[in-house]
Amino acid sequence: MMDRRLYGLVMCACFWIAPCGCGKPSASAPARGEAGSPAKAKDESHPPVAEDRSQKAEPSSRPAKDVPNLGTRRRGTDWPTFLGPTSDSKSSEQGIVTPWPAAGPRIVWQRAIGEGYDIGSVSRGRYFQFDRYGDVARLWCLHAETGEELWKFDYPTDYVDLYAYNGGPRASPVIDHDRVYIYGAEGILHCLNVVNGSVVWKVNTIAELGVIQNFFGVGSTPVVFNDLLLVMVGGSPEDDQRIPPGQLDRVSPNGSAVVAFDKFTGEVRYKSGNDLASYASLRLTTIEDRPWCLAFCRGGLLGLDAATGRVDLEFPWRSKILESVNASTPVVSGNQIFISETYGIGSALLEISGGKERVVWQDDDRRRDKSFKAHWNTPILVDGYLYGCSGRNPPDAEQRCIEWKTGKVMWSEPTQIRTSLLHVDGHFVCLGEFGMLQLLKVNPNKLEIVSEVKLRDPNAVGPTPPGLEAPGLLRSPCWAAPILSHGLLYVRGDNRVVCLELIPEAGDNPRR
């Protein structure tokens, strides 16, 4: 049988896009260990999720323990999960400096990091970054304002990407009071103590729920709803377990598209949705006075009752190409839901009324031109207009604005690179995949660039030789959208996370 790494390199020439052992918190080098294959499931059919627990967990609905706040900055909010506290990559903070100084916002701290595509999360003065180093996945807990290491946790992983992309995490840490949840590319789900990194519980979703490895591993960030942790899993029945990884046209679902775990114990509370997993993160919202969980799965959009798992919406939406994926998180406005993909069928806007959906508009699959083609970025809705990057690969990537209610393209500017956005204070912070950072004015009539900078290492020694450009601080690929917490902007590339002061504290000199 062909070695998986060789297989990945062969497949990568045709297509381009983007284990289990008990871990431990540590202040030293990680222990190495064997990890189970993510493509193999247990012989028994979905046993109770109990054997991976590191300790007896508390009953549900218990009060959260007090977590000391290490932050000193007086203004702003935490950013405890992917796309922020409002799940839309929009910040409520104000007071940004505009335009930027020539060198860009002040660099507060920077740190070399391992493999991965996820950006971190911030809560109570702590920054959590999940990455991979060799054959271990590692969660760092850093002081959010200084980058100082507080603790680290690691566990062995043997994930190998089928298309030779790196084997690091794709999903961001999720912080809920005194607990942080991490979901590795190989499918191991951990609940850790925020203060010291000790393991509360863990689940191997691959082994326990029969997941067959897809193209790029686990990429969907979970969400917390009341006492539940909702996770996109997408397992398959026992008869499918001999199917090789990546052959998803032969794989069938087993009703575990979304699994609700008790967030305190890790016990399964419900399994819902007959579909395989995608890379789009789950989205919680309230429609018609009840809670919904939106899951843009491999085959299309599922709408669940977040409390019970009852499926109320099934809307097929996926290109016929085998290797096509859904990766952009649904965008919500009131009772309307926008979904988008980049492999051929484009976008659709749905409206929920009386528990039923109707199509407000959708791209015509017979036409090459589409209103929007979101890849792995999630577009942002501001005042009736949707902004973001449209296009699959660098040659056809565009920065685009469309009208929400009609899908009409307001403007579209070729950028040749894919970008991700953060909305704050009437502007977008835009990060290009090769490390260019821009400040854009929100404008439905044109692309309005206020400032742009390629971050440089302030500690670099000596002048740059004539004719050569100084190396950028962020190395490609920079695929994670920027995040903002208490005035500090966090951006990451392939090799580094950088913390910048986007909003100075009162009395600070923003140009120092």
Segment 391-434, tens digit of pLDDT = 998 888 999 999 999 999 999 999 889 999 999 999 999 999 99
Amino acid 1: pLDDT: 36
CA angle 317, 91, 232 (to 5 degrees): 35
pLDDT in tens, 15-25: 333 333 344 45
Amino acid 75: pLDDT: 94
The set of residues, in sequence order, having a beta carbon less than 8 Å from that of 27 and lying 6+ positions away, is 149, 151, 152
Tell me the pairing of strands 179-183 and 106-112: unpaired
pLDDT above 90: residue 487: yes
Residue 12 CA to residue 286 CA, distance in Å, equals 40
322 pLDDT tier (thresholds 50, 70, 90):
very high
466 pLDDT tier (thresholds 50, 70, 90):
low
The torsion angles phi and psi of 190, rounded to 5 degrees, stand at: -120, 145
Tell me the CB-side half-sphere exposure of residue 462, using CA atoms within 13 A: 5
- R_g of the chain, CA atoms, integer Å: 22
Residue 18 CA to residue 165 CA, distance in Å, equals 7
pLDDT above 50: residue 10: no
User: Measured between alpha carbons, how far apart are the two ends of the chain, in Å?
Assistant: 59
| Collapsed DSSP state (helix, strand, coil) of residue 415 | coil
Which is higher by pLDDT, 433 or 468? 433
pLDDT above 60: residue 114: yes
Average pLDDT over residues 52-76: 67
User: How distant, in Å, are the alpha carbons of 188, 364, 418 from that of 321?
Assistant: 28, 17, 21
Residue 99 CA to residue 104 CA, distance in Å, equals 9
Contact present, 222 and 229 (Cβ < 8 Å): yes
| Collapsed DSSP state (helix, strand, coil) of residue 145 | coil
Contact present, 427 and 446 (Cβ < 8 Å): no
Beta bridge partners of 436: 454
Amino acid 443: pLDDT: 98
470 pLDDT tier (thresholds 50, 70, 90):
low
Topology annotation, domain 1-32+120-279: Lipocalin (2.40.128)
Q: What is the pTM of this model?
A: 0.87
366 pLDDT tier (thresholds 50, 70, 90):
confident
pLDDT above 50: residue 271: yes
Domain residue limits, the chain:
1-32+120-279
Concatenated DSSP letters of 287-337: ETTEEEEEEE-SSEEEEEETTT--EEEEEE---SSTT----SPPEEETTEE
Amino acid 61: pLDDT: 53
Tell me the pairing of strands 90-91 and 419-424: parallel
- Both tokens assigned to 40: 């193999």
Of 33, 8, 30, nearest to 19 by C-alpha is 33
Instruction: Give residue 288's region: left, alpha or beta (phi > 0; psi -120 to 50).
Output: left
Beta bridge partners of 129: 140
For the chain, give the percent of residues with pLDDT over 70: 84
Average pLDDT over residues 140-153: 98
CA 333 to chain centre: 20
Beta bridge partners of 155: 137
User: How distant, in Å, are the alpha carbons of 110, 252, 297, 308 from that of 273?
Assistant: 41, 12, 9, 12
